[in-house]
Structure 1
């Protein structure tokens, strides 16, 4: 008999083939057919539901249905977005990603929706994931570059490359820690560098907080990579929300921070320090108490600051903040009370106004002239909580400022000296080699305000809402004082010219008519600069007049009537889809027999255009606002009427920052189909020009350059993940650089024949000077027609330039050739630079996109 103790052997059975389920297969087939029929009928919501059912029941069909499913998802998401059904939109994407978790196109598309809705951190995560799934995915790469500009602002690179700034902070922190400040809180830690300085100096406990999710995660990575993960506790929160012992176990003896902007208080340092003194810091040393050790008292680095200011004349500031032109393109602008920028700290400024803007004065095109000597505007002690709390209520300080140089008063420029401790300080002055810009308070008068030596300006300094506000309010001349906000009429004929009358004449630009004041219009700084660009408008006026005259003089199929005159022709239709405020439609409307449509959207701007139309004799029916008539902004390019086509369509092709606009080629292709015979797109052709330069400045502004400037800490590999290859808002005329070649034509875009545009071009550039190619600045020649063109690189241009920055510079010698590969992809231009001898073999290449794809 068999051995009863022997266990039977296990035999692996073959996997049974799945049993066919006829009912399920029939359901899948019917649902797939229904999905395709709904897709054909543009019923995207129902099609999406059917596809979900099909792909969940039959995963084997994923490859077959992927493209149709993507298309359905994207179209349904567009509908949900237009209806404001945000949660439903993201629910659909979550369901799609459950089916296709590794689909880089769906991941990237969800990131685009997140970015448009303001969820930049989450969008960055999706773009980054899409790039990991497909490293050469152009759309995801360009999207990530755009988000990187939002998440890690470019000044982070400048600050980390500013060795002097980093070293002085390190010295001040070392001194405080070695004196006994053993517990440290780094407010707004950024990359964590100041907290790491404290730990390196010997602090027993170091805490850090950071509000930005991206910077918080970056700080955690950097701190871990530098071996301090267990020594520095990083909190993802705002310091004013921190509590003891909930977030940190006890009060600290030292707070370090650099939450200061060009205007000193703009990043909320006053609020955060007041909260810190009340809730997070040990009490300060009091002169009335027994002396305490540093470990028993609290202190702040920086200890305080001194603010300085100066009055300046600067044409570049002037043309961005007030109207300088009285006429553009044949249009008189005098019928409007005035245009002003949103930068103002006057008492009647609205909530949308900012008290100051920022500029690097040393790089302003055309330079600037100082009209006074520097004045001391404010002193602040960050270690005195009573002084901090009284800052907003201390009242207005008036400073008398003698004028030392004749000129036009355009702005007050402000900088500060940051006192880290008794020995270490940093200056942000315009003559300093610093990572900071200067704060600029522009004069908002309607025209030039002239001063001369012997005059005396009255400047008011206040800190309302913890913002530093500085404004010139009056001028005295020969003992007479006149407010800059008022004007009294000058003497009539035959009246004696007194010093006061001379002053009033000098201040005639300050006239305030109550009726016109109500018509004053606020424009963005770039829109004011555009309105001041008379050459731009004159070129458009000539090109429009030339085209419309040609169309009017074309053959008349109906011939003359009995009186010998041609019957009245239908009006010509012109559409201006420029971004923001534009008077191009009004320029077309005044040419006669034209129905001009403007894409200006804001009601105030539409009202101003109507006033300009009335003042320039344009009939009311000749100007209409197109966005008031279309259901969706995305449908702005369509016929003016069922039986009508456009005679001219004006496309806004170049962003102010120096990049081509998103989906330009796609928009031009659609616009071309909407033109009547002989109609034109403006501009017709865009030619891209560039040159080779050596510029350490661009390198420092684009990436952290090694460990030396960052005190030996390992920071560069982490923050340089957010390096973007294109530097925008560049003033090439003032950029510190060495030209290594002459300008060359890089690429041509024919917007009237988009199908004939090449997608790639090889350009050989002759090197004219020995050096390192670190960047390729580029700009555009915008051709309205064959004879009329506008450059984006001129002194009066409202456009800036951009530059591709090479993170691995090319060493070149005069006479050599650099080969540029210029590639066009969906209105994005990428540039790869190689030396001629490198073209044959495998080499590392620097490539960068010159535009963004996220609106």
Structure 2
């Protein structure tokens, strides 16, 4: 009987195996059939079944499965079925946990949805799995700037900053601080200073998943992973004894930005004093620091100064009343986001940042530097008072006549009573300065004897400088010059009457600072005006000539009666450049034209409408293209008429200095939508570059060994997140030495793609001995053969970028280097062949 049972089980197993093979075979056939019919969802389900039933087929179906997954994910994304999309990827990664293609694709979807940390982890994993996978490398380079911000490299290379922090921490530990909490540890360097100083208990917390994992690697490499307890959380969520056993005697932190408070140091220290720190030392002479708490830094003094700076002005105030023949209405006011945040309830940063020592054109101090406020981080009541403190008013006399463009802010960080560091523009430090651009005044000119007034407050954990005004002393009285003075009683009555029917403040429109710089770029608009005029004039003459040829008899009979009543068909212009653009309005001046703008924001559409009205355009001249589309992803379409586009305007260069993503795909679609004789603007772009020696480029992209980090091994781990391209450069102020003349590196042709080359070698002759550390590059943007824009010019709203070499190359005058230039998927890579 036992043998009979075994035979029965054997027959059952054989039958099950046959059934499994049959089901797998049929599922594979069904999957293939579904793929042929582009039914990707069903095909994906069949492949999942196959791989679960027959894992041995993984290698055989891997590529087809990857293709099916990507196609099905695109479909789910278009249907906004995001949970289903990520479920599919999770199932796929369970089957292929070490597949770089699936990891990269998962990262792309995460990044599109704003999950940068998570996307970076998948891109990083894909690169580790296959270092030669170009798509993953390009994606990782783009996202690395988000998850490990470039200031980490600059800060870690600031040896003086590191040394001052180390000395202050050593002093505190030696004076009795036995337990230390590092808030916002980053790479863990301050924690390691504390441990090296001899603190028995050291804890550190870090919210960023990427930085937390990086810190874990750093601690392990320095044999401190068992000595420092690292928590992946906000300090506000730390509980005793759940996360750390007891209150600590020292908190160290550098959660300060250029405006001091922008990273939430006040909020985190209030929580620390209330829940994580021992009470502060009383003023009764007792000195046993072990029983009391303290903070490094102990406090700060915030300083300010009024400045004139043309570069700040052109990014935050529109200076022109007329641009390439287009009049801007007086009722329309443009502001940058830092101005808008003053009048909103949102917790937006009320300032921007600049490295004042490297701002193009420099700056001029209009007042002496003045103290804005002091902060004592060891005083809980003072920290709490920041949020409730009434605004204070500061009045500063003008020491030099000029144009008021900004209030510049920096601080002195008092680590303890002995060690301080300053972020002043005159100091060589890793910090930039906070810049509060002055906007909304009718007169920005200052004279000696005038004064600048402002209100200072700390709202939403930000230092805010508001209600900036100019005061002139006349006839022994102080007179504010914020508002235009009415010259007569009649004007005043007229203004009061207008209040009943109009908004006295006019229409406000918020633009990004780069969009304001673009409006201030006169040459850009004049060049476009000239190029647009050539094309439209040529097409108008051509159409007129064709009409005359085909209808000459009718025209000869009727020309006397109807020559003034015939309205020619309009020419169609589509502007799909990024952001706010007045190019459609410029095109409208060449009527009869139907110009379409692709701006999305309602306030931008309103602003363009007001500009169109101010220039007395017929209402149908300007339309908003997205209002005509069912799918906004399909911007490049034929107009709803029997005509094609006469001109399509594309963005080819990002303001960061890189080539726009997918520009060649957009150009290919655009060429199919052009009227005969129509043009894409720009028609082609040439990329130029040169060899330079620049230590600044190195310091801003990679940590330079263990010297700046005082012997701790951090560089190999943070440098995993270095990128080969440094963006948003201004070559006019970058400290560098040119080692060659500029050479043409690449041509990108949008009208004639056969002229493009994805790979080329460029020979560069060295004209000066030195060490090549980088290859800065910029572009000449050809609207046509005679009309060229240079992205490196002083008036340009574009910045430059640079390839940074892994290792400097020593060269002598007369040497020749060969640059291997690769252009793929809108990404440029350059390697040097010696």
TM-score normalised by the chain length of structure 2: 0.92
- Offset at 1:798? 0.6
Matched, 1:605 2:604: yes
Match of 1:507 in 2: none
1:320 deviates by 0.6
Shift of 1:145: 1.1
Structure with the bigger percentage of helix? 2
Match of 2:291 in 1: 296
Matched, 1:520 2:520: no
8 Å Cα contact 1:306-1:417 kept in structure 2: yes
Q: Which of 86, 102, 127 pairs up with 2:123?
A: 127
Partner of 2:478: 481
> CA distance change for structure 1 residues 54 and 252 in 2, over 3 Å: closer, same or farther?
closer
In structure 1, C-alpha distance between the alignment counterparts of 2:633 and 2:395, rounded to whole Å: 54
Contact 2:262 2:349 in 1 (8 A): no
Matches within 5 A, 1:771-790: 771-790=770-789
Q: Tell me, yes or no, if the aligned pair for 2:725 and 2:804 is still in contact at 8 Å.
A: yes
Deviation at 1:40, TM superposition (A): 4.2
Secondary structure at the residue paired with 1:390? helix
The aligned residue for residue 697 of structure 2 is 698
In the alignment, structure 1 residue 490 sits paired with structure 2 residue 487: yes
- Deviation of 1:66 after TM superposition, in Å, equals 4.5
Q: CA deviation at 1:350?
A: 4.9
Query: Counterpart of 1:550?
Result: 538
Q: Does 1:360 align with 2:355?
A: yes
Q: Does residue 80 of the first structure (1) align with residue 76 of the second (2)?
A: yes
**In structure 2, C-alpha distance between the alignment counterparts of 1:147 and 1:194, rounded to whole Å:** 26
Two-structure CA RMSD over aligned residues (Å):
2.4
Alignment of 1:432 with 2:413, yes or no, is no
Cα-to-partner distance string for 1:327-371 (whole Å, 9 max, x where unaligned):
112211125421000013875245274311100011111111110
Query: Shift of residue 528 of structure 1?
Result: 0.7
- Whether 2:264 is the aligned partner of 1:268: answer yes
Counterpart in 1 of 2:551? Answer: 559
The verdict on how the C-alpha distance between 1:514 and 1:445 changes in structure 2, with shifts beyond 3 A counting, is farther
The more displaced of 349-358 and 794-803 is 349-358
1:93 aligns with 89
Q: How far off is 1:486 after superposition?
A: 3.2
**Aligned match for 1:441, one of 436, 440, 443:** 436
Any conservation in 2 of the 1:336–1:612 contact (CA below 8 Å)?
no
Aligned to 2:113: 117
| C-alpha separation in 1, matches of 2:688 and 2:196 | 49
SS at match of 1:318: helix
Partner secondary structure for residue 546 of structure 2: coil
Q: Which residue of 1 aligns with 2:826?
A: 827
SS at match of 2:652: coil
- Which residue in 1 is equivalent to 2:650? 651
Aligned to 2:301: 306
Indicate conservation of the 8 Å contact 1:783/1:790, yes or no.
Answer: yes
What is the distance in 1 between the residues matched to 2:667 and 2:774?
Answer: 30
1:321 to 316, 324, 345: 316
Query: Per-residue displacement from partner, 1:783-836 (whole Å, max 9, x unpaired)?
Result: 00111111111111111000111120010111111111101111111000132x
Contact preservation (8 Å) 2:441, 2:482:
no
1:681-760 alignment to 2 at 5 Å?
681-760=680-759
Structure 1 residues not aligned, in runs of 5+: 1-16, 496-500, 502-510, 836-855
1:672 and 2:660 aligned = no
**Cα distance in 2, alignment partners of residues 563 and 265 from structure 1:** 76
Give the 5 Å matches for 1:73-472: 73-287=69-283, 289=284, 291-344=286-339, 348-351=343-346, 353-445=348-440, 449-471=444-466, 472=468
Q: 3-state SS of the aligned residue for 2:263? A: coil
Using the TM superposition, give the Cα deviation of residue 663 of structure 1 relative to its aligned residue in structure 2, in angstroms: 1.2
CA distance in 2, matches of 1:698, 1:376: 34
Q: Is residue 218–residue 713 contact of structure 2 (8 Å, CA) maintained in 1?
A: yes
Counterpart contact for 1:487–1:512, Cα < 8 Å: no
Kindly tell me the number of residue pairs found equivalent between the two proteins: 803
Contact kept? 1:690, 1:744, Cα under 8 Å: yes
Residues 694 and 738, structure 1, Cα contact 8 Å, conserved in 2: yes
- Once the two structures are superposed, residues 78-111 of structure 1 have per-residue CA deviations (whole angstroms, 9 ceiling, x without a partner) of 2221222111011122233344444322221111
Of 380-389 and 29-38, deviating more is 29-38
Specify the alignment match of 1:535 in structure 2. 523
Q: How far off is 1:473 after superposition?
A: 3.1
Q: 1:446 to 1:688 in 2, by over 3 A?
A: farther
Secondary structure of the residue aligned to 1:573 is: strand
Task: Give the gaps of 5 or more residues in structure 2.
Answer: 1-12, 493-498
1:404 is displaced (CA, Å) by: 0.6
Structure 1 pair 237/140, CA: closer, same or farther in 2 (3 Å)? same
Cross-structure match for 1:625: 624
- Distance in 2 (CA, whole Å) between partners of 1:353 and 1:206 is 34
Deviates more, 1:813-822 or 1:95-104: 95-104
1:59, distance to aligned residue in structure 2 (A): 5.6
CA distance in structure 1 between the partners assigned to 2:29 and 2:678 by the alignment: 44
Deviation at 1:446, TM superposition (A): 5.6
SS state at 1:666 partner: helix
Structure-1 separation of matches of 2:35 and 2:319: 55
Measure, in 1, the Cα distance between the counterparts of 2:481 and 2:191. 47
Specify the alignment match of 1:8 in structure 2.
none
CA contact (8 A) 1:460 1:473 kept: no
For residues 477-519 of structure 1, the C-alpha deviation after alignment (integer angstroms, 9 at most, x for no partner) is 23443446433323689x9xxxxx9xxxxxxxxx999626341
Q: Distance in 2 between matches of 1:373 and 1:706?
A: 40
**CA separation of 1:58/1:224 partners in 2, compared to 1, >3 Å: closer, same or farther?**
closer
Q: Please say if 1:46 is aligned against 2:55.
A: no
**Contact 2:347-2:460 at 8 Å conserved across structures:** no
1-structure distance, mates of 2:352, 2:358:
15
Q: What secondary structure sits across from 2:639 in the alignment?
A: coil
Cα pair 2:443 2:482 within 8 Å, conserved: no
Tell me which moved more, 463-472 or 768-777.
463-472
Separation in 2, partners of 1:512, 1:409:
33
SS, match of residue 764 in structure 2:
strand
Residue 661 to residue 280, structure 1, CA distance change in 2 (3 Å):
same
Q: Tell me, in whole angstroms, the C-alpha distance in 2 between the residues paired with 1:347 and 1:90.
A: 39
Matched residues in 2 for 1:142 and 1:591: separation? 42
- Relative distance call for 1:646 and 1:350 in structure 2 (3 A) is farther
Please say if residues 336 and 512 of structure 2, whose CA atoms lie closer than 8 Å, have aligned partners that are also in contact: yes
How big is the shift at 1:441? 0.5
Q: Give the Cα–Cα distance (whole angstroms) in 2 for the partners of residues 711 and 750 of structure 1.
A: 50
Q: 587-596 or 574-583, which moves further after superposition?
A: 587-596
The verdict on how the C-alpha distance between 1:245 and 1:97 changes in structure 2, with shifts beyond 3 A counting, is closer
Shift of residue 570 of structure 1?
A: 3.0
TM-score (norm 1): 0.90
Decide whether the 8 Å contact of 1:575 with 1:597 is kept in 2.
Answer: yes
Q: Quick one: distance in 2 between partners of 1:449 and 1:621? A: 38
Match of 2:640 in 1: 641
CA contact (8 A) 1:209 1:235 kept: yes
Contact 1:301 1:420 in 2 (8 A): yes
Distance 1:513 1:802 in 2: 50
CA deviation after TM superposition for structure 1 residue 36, in Å: 4.3
SS in 2 for 1:378: strand
Q: In structure 2, the residue corresponding to 1:659 is in which secondary structure?
A: coil
